[in-house]
Structure 1
Amino acid sequence: MSLRTLFAALLLCAPSIGFGQVSLKQDAQYHEGLNVRSEVTVDTNQTLTVGEMDVETSASTFMVTLESVDGKTDAGDWSMRGKFETLQSNISLPGGLEFQFDSGNPDAAQAAPALQPIADLMTTIASAKWTTVMGKDGKVKEIRFDGDPLTAVPEAFRSQISPETWKKSANQMLDRLPSEPVNKGDSWTRTESSDFGGGQSMTFEKKYTYLGPTEEDGKQYEKIGVECVGVTYKMEANGASPLKVTGSELEVAESSGEVLYSPEIRTIVALKEKVRITGTLDLEVNGQALPGELDLTIGTTMKSQRADESAN
């Protein structure tokens, strides 16, 4: 074969070779007996200005979950058992009220009796156990609780911890990854939503960019940058809160984040995100319209690994 013929053949083959491309496809590798421990921290700081009054709240939640792969179902899906190992929450409310919950001491009395229903809710969540069914397409097919813990949860909060909400949240995480190979610098967008309970939700427009390979703690990962580029807020008209939001104009003031993808086990193993949202709200209390302003910062971190690794 002449050099010219060889060069022409290489040019023809170049598109299929995909030189420099990397697959970030979600294709987690399961096997019976696999145990995965995940740690998640969510921090929020909010200032809601109603008229000329600032109402400040902050919250920090830390949770550790353990999921164990039972095996395959008759349909060929993977079945996993899940539970909380740790659930902790600290909330600062207007008027100097402080709420603290630790699943290691769930019966601790609250300083303010009015906060006891929240502690009861957290106790219900902390003791929950569930089964997750992963379909052949790598997406969550079903989540179901043992028993029916939602019967003990106030109606206003049920949407936050319902199996369908958990399923949607899990699949949003899986959908962050592109199905086709990418080059360094390639970007893609996703629409993601969060349910805050009480008929409230936020929808985020996010831009993901593949940044290239990286090494942490002696392991190889693919790093993906995350930027929130848009946000909208929605409150159902029949929401439980006496303070209604009838309209909003919000924008992303600051945003940063990164995701780590493991090419070894072909799934996301860590993420770190922070977004600050500001803007105006049209509020209504007992039929009276009030102007409002929102300054909200949400920070999220997640780390997931095999339980035998996290024990070391």
Structure 2
Amino acid sequence: MRTATSHGKRFVGFLVAVAAVALLFASDQSAQAQKVLRWKFEQGQTFQWKTSQNADITVTIKDMEQATTSSFSMTMGMFVKEVADSVASLEVSMDRFQMAMEVAGQKMEYDTDSDEVQEGIGEVFARTFEPLMAMTYTIKMDDRGEIVDVIVPEESMKMLESMPGMQQFGKMFSKEAMQDMSSTGWLTLPEEGLSVGDSWDMKSETDNPILGKQIAAAHFTYEGPEEVDGKTLEKIVMDMDMEFDENIQNELGLKMKVEDMTLSGTFYFDAEAGRLNNSEIKQQMEADLEAGGQSMHQVMDGTVSTTITERKPDTAEEDSGSTESEN
């Protein structure tokens, strides 16, 4: 005759078996749910990399406020020269620079694509940015989005060094600085696969000739797929803490103390294409400055947007060319 104890043992054994199956099933489901995100490049591809910044700045001097709005955008071309051992060599060329400012009701606009003769501050911008349109350099980036090397041709470096006033910018165009600047707008992905809610951290240190030593600690969180303009993209949000030298003083004669700075952003990664689709980072900064013996307090509220799109060959032109050659 079966006893209550034997029934209990069988029931406990049944529960253990059910729990084991459930654990295996949950583990399998978790593994399936994880998504490994990687950058993908193929030799011969061409991309457009555009970064835009809009900012509202309020400067207070002796209890008097002055508001400034500014916007600029830099459009660059990227050609995939080679892909080897999961590292892509990307040749970057400067295509276009646009800038617009409004200070005390006065507007100023500049565009490297414009044929208009520049005067005043526009002429200064022209002397600075037009030579950059002839500049090229190479970024080497692995499939996680980490910049492993930057190669600036000797002719480009000589051109930069010969530009008027460039000596004041110190290390801005050194190899290390170019590597830091090239990382802006990219997205470094974790080694492991991601489930919704997973997070990872990235830390970097930059020696900026204007703002001094900066330490950035970024915290990323994967929020899963989202439909954006008819495409399924992977949403990643970021919060960043920035540390600056307590008192900044540079060769431009600017003294600065950053009272507060916050950055937060959203990245949309195209897993199928293997590249960042777009990102938007919001910046807020409050600082005390001194320039030319004049003290001021500055509050800045801005947004930096980045888009990366592939430039497809014009098939219509190719078809037209083949027709003409046949005739």
TM-score, normalising length from structure 2?
0.74
Q: 1:143 aligns with which of 144, 150, 165?
A: 150
- Distance in 2 (CA, whole Å) between partners of 1:195 and 1:116 is 29
Larger radius of gyration: 2
Q: What is the total number of aligned residue pairs between the two structures?
A: 298
Partner of 1:34: 45
Contact residue 203 and residue 216 of structure 2 kept, 8 A: yes
Partner of 1:126: 133
Q: 2:234 aligns with which of 203, 215, 222?
A: 222
Partner of 2:34: 22
Q: CA deviation at 1:10?
A: 5.1
Q: 1:300 aligns with which of 301, 304, 313?
A: 304
Alignment of 1:282-297 (within 5 A): 283=290, 286=293, 290=295, 292-297=296-301
Partner of 2:322: none
- Distance in 1 (CA, whole Å) between partners of 2:279 and 2:21 is 42
Gaps of 5+ in 2: 1-13, 317-327
Q: Helix, strand or coil for the counterpart of 2:23?
A: helix
Report whether the alignment pairs 1:277 with 2:289. Answer: no
Report whether the alignment pairs 1:62 with 2:69. Answer: no
- Distance in 1 (CA, whole Å) between partners of 2:87 and 2:206 is 27
Contact residue 65 and residue 86 of structure 1 kept, 8 A: yes
Aligned AA for 1:101?
Answer: Y
Gaps of 5+ in 1: none
Partner of 1:108: 117
Aligned AA for 1:119?
Answer: A
Sequence identity of aligned pairs in percent? 17
Structure with the bigger percentage of strand: 1
**1:243–1:71 CA distance, 2 compared to 1 (3 A):** closer
Q: Helix, strand or coil for the counterpart of 1:308?
A: coil
**1:58–1:282 CA distance, 2 compared to 1 (3 A):** closer
- Distance in 1 (CA, whole Å) between partners of 2:304 and 2:313 is 22
**1:101–1:172 CA distance, 2 compared to 1 (3 A):** closer
Q: CA deviation at 1:244?
A: 1.3
- Distance in 1 (CA, whole Å) between partners of 2:277 and 2:142 is 19
Structure with the bigger percentage of helix: 2
Contact residue 124 and residue 152 of structure 1 kept, 8 A: no
User: Which deviates the most, 262-271 or 53-62?
Assistant: 53-62
- Distance in 2 (CA, whole Å) between partners of 1:227 and 1:209 is 9
- Distance in 2 (CA, whole Å) between partners of 1:188 and 1:77 is 22
**1:3–1:198 CA distance, 2 compared to 1 (3 A):** closer
Query: What is the CA RMSD across the aligned residues, in angstroms?
Result: 3.7
Report whether the alignment pairs 1:265 with 2:266. Answer: no
- Distance in 2 (CA, whole Å) between partners of 1:96 and 1:203 is 36
- Distance in 2 (CA, whole Å) between partners of 1:310 and 1:212 is 34
- Distance in 2 (CA, whole Å) between partners of 1:231 and 1:216 is 30
